[in-house]
Amino acid sequence: MGSVLSARLSDVETNPILVEFYQQRRLSETIIIPLDRRNGVVDVLELHYLFPISVAELEHLELIGPVLAGCWEGRSLGLFSDALLAGSRAIRKSQVSEEILSVENPFRLSRAEYRVCLLLSRGLNNKAVLSELSITMATLRTHLGNIYAKTGATSQSELVHMLLVSQSARNIHRIGTSDVA
């Protein structure tokens, strides 16, 4: 673990799949550093270069390879993702009754994220959202990823459900308050 393995296009000429991989991405060299092996699975760090790396760069990688492997081996499995999920669960539990699209903006959505949620709550599909906002699919995916992280939604269907539930709760509240007045 931690050793540096190097491969260039000339090293993989016998494998048509790797040749195609290198050519499509215009790669010159790949460095692979094995970090850990558990249960028959090897975790590796792959570095892809457009130009051949120098001897000095390779020496630097050989110095840090064992350090990276040592850090990887000593890591706490799932610590980062557990912390992220715990934060989203805490937000979800504490703000479940709050509207995603309320004026108070309890989920701290950006203006673009708010617009995406607004269009989804109106029943627009992804194609219509792209057209309405004049954005690319990659941009929409970025916005959706940010929205999921902020609201605790795990999918677009769950997000739409959350939007519709909060919208119907708002409508019920309005009906209830207008009857009282």
CA neighbours within 13 Å on the CB side: how many for 170? 13
* Residue 47, phi then psi, degrees to nearest 5: -120, 125
Q: For 79-180, which CATH class?
A: mainly alpha
Amino acid (one-letter) located at 165: V
pLDDT per residue of the chain (181 residues) written in tens, 0 to 9: 878 888 887 787 888 888 888 888 888 888 888 888 877 888 888 888 888 888 888 888 888 888 888 887 777 666 666 666 665 555 444 444 468 888 888 889 999 999 999 999 888 999 999 999 999 999 999 999 999 998 888 888 888 888 887 665 555 444 444 444 4
CB 156 within 8 A of CB 128: no
CA atoms of 75 and 82, how far apart (whole Å): 13
Instruction: Give the strand order in the sheet containing 5-8.
Output: 5-8, 29-38, 41-49
DSSP label of 60 = H
Question: Given this model, what pLDDT does residue 181 score?
Answer: 44
Predicted structure pTM score: 0.44
Q: Any idea where the domains of the chain sit in the sequence? A: 5-73, 79-180
Quick check: helix, strand or coil at residue 104? coil
